Amino acid sequence: MVTIRSLWWKILAALLVLVSMYFGLTTKTGPGLAYVSPERVDASSDFEITITGYNTSFFPDATPKVWLKKKNRLYCANSVTVIDRNHLQVGFNAFEGKVDSAQRIVMTVVVEDEVNGMFLGVNRLEIDQSDTLKTYAAACTLKPEKLSAIQYSFPYRTTLYETIRNLHFHVPMWFSMITVLFLSFLSSILFLNKSDVKYDHWANAFAATGLVFGIAGIITGAFWARFTWGTFWTADPKLNGAAVAVLMYIAYQILRSSIEDEDKLARIAAIYNILAFPIYIVLIIVLPTIAEFSLHPGSGDSVGFKDYDLDSNLRMVFYPSVMGWVLTSVWIATLVYRTKRLEFQQTESEINNEEN
Amino acid sequence: MMHKIFSMLLSVLLLVASAGMASAADLDLDDTFFQAGKYYVVAVILLIIFAVLFTFLMRLEMRVRKLEKRSKS
């Protein structure tokens, strides 16, 4: 019973990681708009488009509604026919006037029904407007109700597509790294305060674990970037900051292995670590956030995933995942610390035996 | 002790897996990828791998505990 009482948070860590991993892997993305065909239409006469949905379930009973949207002006479809669960045939009347003064415009397709909720295909339809039209077309009065989908699902985003679920695996690596490095920083302060070598062992164990999670974060990030941005690496404030941060903690480990005198080593390592942590936070959070441009979500001019997560479905998996991984990283760090302590105690007793 | 923890992890895992499959079937959506494509098998296999890793971590924990006890006495 004593073991269970002291192990509960480790069991919790395992359960959170496993449960969030299951839902992170199996929740579908969508409903979303995969294709519109044709991609270009002439609006001087009545026209029809076919919408192909992604993980949609169109039913005639749910009466899907379709709009074309340009800025805040909405144009209602004249007829919507459900072909099957993933296809809609949509008819529009010829435009009686122009949508705006340009001859060719790009419009967003908006679809909504009770099952799939509302979803968009942003700038997916090119429209040729007749030159003879002089007046402006009247927008329709029926507006989308901004319904959510019935099914629990992750947002369907172009560029990201199914990789949106990487959020639950890549990002917790960084949360874990930040947590254990903060604990390492605190341990180093405690060491300088109390001059107890056990705090130096804590600082070392936390920093080593942080490094492992940082390397995992860099590799997963590079792989994700290859299939969303098209390249493993690019000179981006977030990426470069993360790389320098990881190098800084590699340097900490090299520093530790290069000093012979143990008292000196502990003190120098503690000072390095205390200086490194604020710089680490600046590199990994502050500089990317205030940067003018960045590809990375949440940095510079890029919006974060919270702006995609309109019905909080991502958060419901993301938060447990972060908690699980942070607890796991602390757990691993405690194991590293305890083996270091055992090693230390063994060498101490060996030295004592020799002296006797 | 270890068996208890492992069987607990495994039962929770299977519970979660069956819940996920049931909810997908109830809604009668397009399940080509997820059900007909047997995608859930991949997810459960990954879960088993991680459950095994966590069990291994727990064994390591116990081994370190034993060593700590021995070095104290």
Per-residue pLDDT tens digits for A161-192:
999 999 999 999 999 999 999 999 999 999 99
What are the chain A neighbours of B23 within 8 Å (beta carbons)? 152
Those residues with Cβ within 8 angstroms of residue A194's Cβ, 6 or more apart along the chain or in another chain:
none
Calculate the average pLDDT of chain A: 92
The CA distance from A256 to A254, in Å, is 5
Residue B7: the pLDDT is: 66
* Partner-chain contact B68 A57, CB within 8 Å: no
Instruction: Please name each of the domains of chain A with its CATH number.
Output: 41-128 (2.60.40.10), 163-355 (no CATH)
Q: Each residue of A215-252: pLDDT tens digit?
A: 999 999 999 999 999 999 999 999 999 999 999 999 99
Question: Can you point out the beta strands (E) in A114-168?
Answer: 117-128
Residue B2: the pLDDT is: 57
What are the chain A neighbours of B34 within 8 Å (beta carbons)? 26, 28
Contact predicate A103/A64, CB 8 Å: no
Residue B24: the pLDDT is: 47
Candidates B5, B30, B50; nearest CB to A85: B30
Find the closest chain A residue to B17 by CA distance. Answer: A22
Note the residue count of chain A: 356
Q: Each residue of A283-300: pLDDT tens digit?
A: 999 999 999 999 999 888
* Partner-chain contact A18 B50, CB within 8 Å: yes
How near does any CA of chain A get to the CA of B61, in Å? 7
- Helix pair A2-26, A313-355: axis angle to 10 deg: 140
How near does any CA of chain B get to the CA of A237, in Å? 33
How near does any CA of chain B get to the CA of A64, in Å? 16
How near does any CA of chain B get to the CA of A343, in Å? 10
ipTM of the complex: 0.77
Token output for A341: 């302590």
A 175-234 residues with CB below 8 A of B?
none
Contact predicate A225/A266, CB 8 Å: no
